[in-house]
Structure formats: structure tokens, C-alpha cells
Amino acid sequence: MADETRQLAEFTANFKYEHIPSQVRQWALDVLVDQIGCEIGCSDLPWTRQVRDTYRRSGGAPEATVVRYGDKLPVASAAFINSTFGQAFEYDDLNPLVRGHPGAKLVPSLLAIAERDHLSGRDFLTALVAAYEVRGHIGWALSPEMMTRGGPHFGTTCGPFGVAAGVAKLLGMDAVGICNALGIAGTFSGGLMQYDHGGGSVKRIFCAVAASSGIQAAQLAQAGITGPEGILEGARGLLKIYSTQFRTDRLVADLGVKWMLEHVAFKPYCVVGIIASAIDGLRNIMTANKLKADDIESIVVGYPSSHYQHAAISAPHDLLGLQFSTSYSLALTVLKGSNTPRDYTLAALADEDLKAFASRVSVVEDTELGKLYEGKLPGRVKLRTRSGKNLEELVIDAKGSPGAPLSSAELDEKFRAQVTDVLGAARSAELVQVLRNIDTLDDVAKLMPTLVA
């Protein structure tokens, strides 16, 4: 044990804006733009309204803004709501190397603190990069075995630590204080993943749980509460409790030299991330062979051992299940031609044609993929035509992944597609530019009214 928790705290405390390479800055801005687009665009779903109504009723000090609606609530409540918005419909960023959805927990929590305390955009961006690296290294140290064994969820397990580190930095805490914040964050770490078998809208708040609990951990540390040393690497710490194949060295390996942000992925499809490889593979086969729905007899999709059960719901009963169902997602690909938020509806769930086609799709474990492509989300599609032809496509880097990235321009277009209906075309275009230049903003509080309809 080399006191890795303290090393992460020292890295966070000493990290400066000048330490951010230009490409890393670009990735961080991509995360910001994509997350704010998801927050605004997905803010009027049934479960997001339920969450907002719950926290509005609780009230409290008017410290931070709820996007789109303009409610002013305590920072933890505003972050919880905005984080729910951002992860509300499986359209936000992910990271195949470190697992989970870092942007949906880091951006809302850090913006809430920066707004309340009138901090600069440069302060916010610096904390975002530092927090992403802390969160990333913790997830990397647990990967992939924790996913293979079915959880707990990387977002609710690792997320509170990343948020606590970033918030503590914004609060001006030194390495000792940040180390205490990390120690306290361990109290909030967990989260069961039965949703990917049993559905339920509670998965929509997983990032929100990490966002609000990380804020609480940092604020408690600021107040003088102390946490245990070695919360990550210790005998009863995170790694040893949640994994049997952890890599302690990854907690600090190449910290500040090789960047976890390099592995960020952005979603072109409104599904759990692993399904993107199956969608791309099926599209490639159909295009190359000029196939139509009636030409297809069966499809078998192979995923790595760590993921194949994560997208294998065959008979979804709610929208969450629909987005975690490879069979229904491929049915949408074939019969509707797209996998956007507009395609994942209750009408699609009840569509008998989609149900019939989905019955032709099965999901299997492909152990070879996990061994060959750690840190990626590959998928192997095997299609049999009604004429008896067997076709196969292996997709290692799906569209939007680090190996086949969406450009910043494409992410800006995705942002506008989600936000224009709420804010209008002119305001949406202006807002993209403001977000892209947030490090020139002297007070984040000036940004928040522009996120309100």
C-alpha cells in the first residue's frame, strides 16, 4: 500500500488550469457541451418531473439553478435534479476504460458549487478535469471485474469520490481536506444493478446519487468531519471490498501524464453504450449486402463477459428495459431506421412488429472479446439470412467511442438537436459558444440564466 488516496488528494489540490493540455481541455469542453445538452433536452420526461417535484417541495436555500426551469435550490438538491436530467435517457457520455457516466455527475455538481460561490469558468474547468481524473483512475482500478460480477454500479460506487474531490477543490481545501472528503465519500459508495435485468426508473438517478453525495462529503469535510485513511486501497477500502481482481497501481499510474479523459465516449444512439457496437455491426452487414427486414432469419450478438448480461433484456416492460435490450434496439434499427430519443417510446414498446423482429435476436457471451479488447465496448454480430447465408461483423470501436470519435462539431449539432425546441435556434447556437469558452467567464453564476427557458 502506497497511500494512493492521499496521492490523489495531493494531485487534486495542486492541479492548476495551466496543467491542462489543449487536447484534454477540448475533451472536457466536449463533456460539458454534451452534458448540458442532455440536461436541457431530457428535462421533461416523467421521471425527471417526479424528481424535480420531490426536491422542489423540500425547498431550502436558493443557492443553485435547475436548468430549463430556473428553480433555485440548495446545491445538493439542484445537482441531484440536473444530474437526473443529464442521465435521464441513456444519451450522455460514458467511458469504456473507467466505466460509468462521469459527466452526468461531475458537471451538475461542480456547476452548482461554482454558481453559488461565484467562481470563474476557469476554476470550474480546472476542477472538472481534476475530478474526472480522480474518478477515472478509481474506476480503472476496479475494471473490468466489478462489471463482470454484476456490480455494484461504477457510477454510484466511484462517482462520489470524483465529485467529492472536485467540489473540495472548488471549496479551496488543501490535500488534507480533500483526503478527508474522499474518506467521507466512501460512506456513500454503492448501488445495485438489478435494473439491467428488472428495469425500473430508479436507474435514472444513479448519477444524481453520486453528485449529491459527493457534494455532501466535501461540505462535511469542510466543516471538520474526518474520514478514514486509505479509503481506496486499505484493508477495508473500496478496492478490496468491491473487487477480487483490483489493480491498486492504477489509482495513480501516470496521473497527470496519461489522461482518463482521452477515453471518453459520446452516444449517437439512445441506448446503453455496449449496444452501439451491435447497431453499427448490423447496419454494416445490411448495407454491404443490401438486406431488408424480411431477408433476416436470425441475429446473434456476442458481447464481452463483463457486458453481455448488461444489454440482454429480451422482454422489456418499461422504457429503461427497452434501452437495455439489444433485441428491441436492433429491431428499431431495422424497422425504424434510427435509435434516437424519439424512437424509444411506449408506443415502440407495444409495437407488435418490433416485438416479432426482436424475437429473432439473441445475445451471448463472447469470452474472446473481453480478453482482446479491454477498455473497449466491442460487439460481434452474426446474421443468418432466410436464404441460408451466414454473415458476420465484428465492431471494436463503435461510432462515438474513442476509436471512432464524434467531432466537437458533431457534438455541437447533437446539442442543438436537443436544445432548440426548448430555447430556440438562436439561443441554442449562442449557448454552444458560451460553453465552448467557459474558461473566459469571470463568474459561473452569469451562465446559469442562459440555461433557463
**Do both 244 and 310 map to the same domain?**
no
- Coil/strand/helix, residue 192: coil
Backbone φ and ψ of 108, nearest 5°: -65, -40
| Average pLDDT for the chain | 96
pLDDT at 202 (0 to 100): 95
pTM of the model: 0.96
Do both 318 and 359 map to the same domain?
Answer: yes
Q: Give alpha helix (H) positions in 59-185.
A: 75-86, 102-116, 121-142, 145-148, 154-170, 175-185
CA distance 107 to 437: 15
pLDDT digits (tens, 9 = 90+) for 7-50: 999 999 999 999 999 999 999 999 999 999 999 999 999 999 99
Same domain flag for 207 and 64: yes
On the question of pLDDT at 1 being above 60, the answer is no
Where helices occur in 263-325 by DSSP H, the ranges are: 275-289, 319-323
Give residue-wise pLDDT tens across range 197-256.
888 999 999 999 999 999 999 999 999 999 999 999 999 999 999 988 899 999 999 999
Nearest to 64 by CA among 78, 50, 84: 78
> Is 385 in a helix, a strand, or coil?
strand
Asked if residue 335 has pLDDT above 90, the reply is: yes
Would residue 407 count as lying in a domain?
A: no
Region 373-380: mean pLDDT is 92
List all residues 6 or more positions away from 345 whose beta carbon is below 8 Å from its beta carbon.
319
Q: Which helix (H) or strand (E) holds 436?
A: helix 425-436
Same domain, 230 and 316: no
Enclosing domain of residue 16 = 4-266+430-451
Residue 165 φ/ψ, nearest 5 degrees: -65, -45
Whether residue 308 is found in the same domain as residue 438: no
Question: Residue 348 in contact with residue 354, Cβ under 8 Å?
Answer: yes
- Look at the block and give the residue holding cell 483512475: 137
DSSP letter for 265, please.
B
Residue 421 lies in a domain: no
CATH code of the domain covering residue 306: 3.30.1330.120
How far is C-alpha 69 from the chain's CA centre?
23
Number of domains in the chain: 2
The whole-number pLDDT of residue 306 equals 84
Q: Where are the alpha helices (DSSP H) in 226-274?
A: 238-242
Beta-strand relationship, 296-303 and 361-365: parallel
Q: Of 373, 395, 417, which marks where a domain is finished?
A: 395
Q: Give a yes or no: residue 173 inside a domain.
A: yes
Instruction: For the chain, give the number of residues.
Output: 453
Burial of 409 (0-12, 13-18, 19+ CB in 10 A): exposed
